Amino acid sequence: MPKSPLSGLSILVLEDELLLRKRIAGFLEKEGASVTAVGTVQAARQAAESLPFDVALMDVNLPDGRGTDLLRDKVFPATTTQLVMTAEGGVAGAVEAVRMGAADYLVKPFDPEELPVRLAHARKSLQAKRADEFRRGQEADLVFGESLAGVREQLQKITAADRRLGSHLPPVLIEGETGTGKTAIARWIHRNGPRADGPMVELNCSAMPEALAEAELFGHERGAFTDAKAARIGLMEAADGGSLFLDELPSLAQSLQAKLLTVLEDHSLRRVGATRPIAVDSRIIAATNADLGVLVAAGKFREDLLHRLDLFRVRLPPLRERGQDIITLAEELLARVCKRYGQKPPAIPSEGRARLLAHAWPGNVRELAHELERAVVFGGERGLSFAHLGAAAASGEGGENDWMRPGFRFPESGFSLESAIDQVVARAVEQADGNVSAAARLLGVSRDVVRYRMKSAGLTPKSGE
> Would you kindly state where each structural domain of the chain is located, as residue ranges?
10-132, 147-315, 320-404, 417-457
CA angle 21, 22, 27 (to 5 degrees): 105
Residue 285 pairs with which residues in a beta bridge?
172, 245
Q: How confident is the model at residue 383 (pLDDT cuts 50, 70, 90)?
A: confident
Residue 265 has what pLDDT?
Answer: 93
Tell which residue, 452, 354, 451, 348, has the closest CA to residue 399: 354
The DSSP bridge partners found for residue 390 are none
Q: Crossing angle of helices 325-340/350-358, nearest 10°?
A: 120
- Which amino acid type is present at position 423? Q
Contacts for 419 with CB less than 8 Å, ≥ 6 apart: none
pLDDT for residue 145: 80
Instruction: Say what the pTM is.
Output: 0.65
Q: How high is the pLDDT of residue 38?
A: 93
Alpha carbon distances (Å) from 362 to 141, 301, 314, 359: 17, 25, 20, 9
pLDDT at res. 7: 66
**What residues contact 413, with CB distance under 8 A and at least 6 apart?**
396, 397
Average pLDDT, integer, range 64-71: 89
Per-residue model confidence (pLDDT) at position 126: 64
Residue 101 has pLDDT above 90, yes or no: no
Confidence of residue 133 (pLDDT cuts 50, 70, 90): low
Domain 10-132: which CATH class? alpha beta
Residue 140 has pLDDT above 80, yes or no: no
Q: Quote the pLDDT of residue 398.
A: 45
Cβ neighbours of residue 412 under 8 Å, at least 6 residues apart?
Answer: 396
pLDDT surpasses 60 at 375: yes
pLDDT at 400: 47
- pLDDT (average), residues 181-207: 91
Question: How far is Cα 133 from Cα 239, in angstroms, rounded to an integer?
Answer: 12
Q: According to the model, what pLDDT value does residue 295 have?
A: 93
Tell me which of 207 and 126 has the higher pLDDT.
207
- How many percent of the chain have pLDDT more than 70? 83
As a 3-state breakdown, the chain gives helix, strand, coil percent values, each rounded to 5, of 50, 15, 35
Q: What integer pLDDT is reported at residue 164 of this predicted model?
A: 93
310-326 residues labelled b (16+ CB within 10 A) or e (exposed): eebebebbbbbebeebb
Q: Check residues 323 and 285 and name the one with the higher pLDDT.
A: 285
For the stretch 325-361, pLDDT in tens is 899 999 999 998 998 888 888 888 888 888 888 888 8
289 — pLDDT class (breaks 50, 70, 90): very high
Determine the pLDDT at residue 308: 94
- Cα 249 from Cα 244, distance rounded (Å): 12
Most confident of the ranges 100-109, 245-254, 388-397: 245-254
Backbone angles phi, psi at 28, to 5 degrees: -65, -40
Q: Determine the CATH number of domain 320-404.
A: 1.10.8
Using CA atoms, how far apart are residues 224 and 69, in angstroms rounded to an integer? 26
Asked whether the CA dihedral 187, 193, 195, 196 is positive or negative, the reply is positive
Whole-Å CA distances, 133 to 52, 130, 198, 202, 380:
23, 6, 15, 9, 37
Cβ distance 13 to 35 under 8 Å?
Answer: yes
How do strand 268-269 and strand 278-279 relate by DSSP bridges? antiparallel
Q: What is the pLDDT of residue 399?
A: 46
Give the model's confidence band at 393: pLDDT under 50 very low, under 70 low, under 90 confident, else very high. very low
Phi, psi (5° rounding) for residue 172? Answer: -120, 135
CA separation for the pair 366, 386 (Å, rounded): 16
Beta strands (DSSP E) in 162-295 are 172-175, 200-204, 243-247, 268-269, 278-279, 283-288
Q: Which residues lie closer than 8 Å to 246 by C-beta, 6 or more apart? A: 203, 205, 252, 284, 285, 286, 287
- Answer whether residue 285 shows pLDDT above 90: yes
Say which amino acid occupies 437. S
Q: Is the pLDDT of residue 190 over 90?
A: yes
Average pLDDT over every residue of 363-375: 91
Residue 250 has pLDDT above 90, yes or no: yes
* pLDDT beyond 90 at 94: no
Residue type, 447: R
Angle between helices 447-457 and 436-443 (to 10 degrees): 110
What mean pLDDT do residues 173-182 have?
92
The dihedral through the CA atoms of 240, 246, 251, 254 has a sign that is positive
As a whole number of angstroms, the distance between CA 4 and CA 25 comes to 15
The reply to whether 147-315 shares the fold of 10-132 is yes
Q: What is the pLDDT of residue 461?
A: 65
Contact between residue 45 and residue 75 where contact means Cβ atoms under 8 Å apart: yes
What amino acid is encoded at 153 in this protein?
A: E
Q: What is the pLDDT of residue 391?
A: 45
Q: What is the DSSP letter of 375?
A: I
What confidence category does residue 90 fall into, taking pLDDT thresholds of 50, 70 and 90? Answer: low
Reported as a single tens digit per residue, the pLDDT across 142-159 is: 677 888 889 999 999 999
What pLDDT was estimated at residue 155? Answer: 95
| Mean pLDDT computed over 317-331 | 89
The pLDDT score that the predictor gives to residue 173 is: 97
Task: Decide which of 403 and 57 is more confident.
Answer: 57
- The pLDDT of 39-51, averaged and rounded, is 90
147-315: CATH number: 3.40.50.300
